[in-house]
Chain A
Amino acid sequence: DTEVTQTPKHLVMGMTNKKSLKCEQHMGHRAMYWYKQKAKKPPELMFVYSYEKLSINESVPSRFSPECPNSSLLNLHLHALQPEDSALYLCASSQDEGGHQETQYFGPGTRLLVL
């Protein structure tokens, strides 16, 4: 099973709202990622968690706040977003054993619209 699940599938929010995106995997992977993808563009890395610790933050604005409550779950908390933050938000996971790069498996994404 190589499934990464994400909820919700779609989200519409105003600029003053607070919302959260959720990601879950049960493959025993210890690295989890958030990517942002604009239309007709490749995914861009936002955050990486390795063994539940934040290991990479690609200079993402503080209105995006990641959280990794346990090895299977990854959240992205959203607050005071701007219309330009509208995009497809993708979660991915990988094995992360022995320091070697393993295959990243992506979820279906949450399509976010900020009004």
Chain B
Amino acid sequence: GENVEQHPSTLSVQEGDSAVIKCTYSDSASNYFPWYKQELGKGPQLIIDIRSNVGEKKDQRIAVTLNKTAKHFSLHITETQPEDSAVYFCAASNNQAGTALIFGKGTTLSVSS
């Protein structure tokens, strides 16, 4: 089955710096890769996702890149702000509806002002 590795487990940056979180996956059949942000006491919130027919996707300060050959994908946050502080989870799944998202273990991002 699919296995998703996520690094680093914790990341501390200064406000305004960039943050990068990396994930690798094992199943070449996986073709959907969402990223979720989870604040304390809340459910995961989708922030960006990418499908395997695309190499990069950007939404304002957030971007995701995908390297299918190497089986890894990364989240890039530019100009970080204190409100970006949260736990970030990457996930992978195949293209079948109603199937499980396989999550990485999460990265706790702390942005200090």
Chain A contacts to B: CB under 8 angstroms: 4, 6, 31, 40-43, 45, 48-50, 55-56, 58, 90, 94-109, 111
Stretch at the interface among B11-19, B57-65, B66-74, B93-101: B93-101
Of chain A, the residue at the smallest CB distance from B30 is A101
- By the criterion CB–CB under 8 Å, are B34 and A42 in contact? no
Cross-chain contact B42 with A108 (CB below 8 angstroms): yes
Q: With A42-B89, A42-B103, A42-B104 as given contacts, are A107 and B43 in contact (CB-CB < 8 Å)?
A: yes
Is B44 positioned at the interface, with any CB of A under 8 Å from its CB?
Answer: yes
Contact size class for B?
20 to 34
Contacts of A111 in B (CB 8 A): 41
4 more contacts with CB within 8 A, not counting A41-B105, A43-B103, A102-B97, are A42-B106, A48-B98, A100-B95, A108-B42
Least Cβ–Cβ distance between A75 and chain B, in angstroms: 17
The smallest C-beta distance from B95 to any residue of chain A, in angstroms, reads: 5
- Output the nearest chain A residue to B44 by Cβ-Cβ distance: A106
Residue in B45, B46, B95, B103 whose beta carbon sits within 8 Å of that of A101 in the complex = B95
Q: Which residue of A lies closest to B104 (CB)?
A: A42
Interchain nearest-CB distance for B31 vs A (Å): 8
Contact A104 B43 (CB under 8 A): no
A107: chain B residues at CB < 8 Å are 43
Contact flag A104-B45 (CB < 8 Å), given A40-B106, A99-B96:
no
Please determine whether B98 and A42 come into contact, CB atoms closer than 8 angstroms.
no
Q: Are B46 and A103 in contact (CB under 8 A)?
A: yes
Q: Is B99 touching A56 in the complex (CB atoms < 8 A)?
A: yes
Beta-carbon contact of B42 and A50 below 8 Å: no
Q: How far is B93's CA from A49's CA once the two chains are assembled, in angstroms? A: 17
Note all chain B residues with C-beta closer than 8 A to A95.
97
B36 within 8 A of A: yes
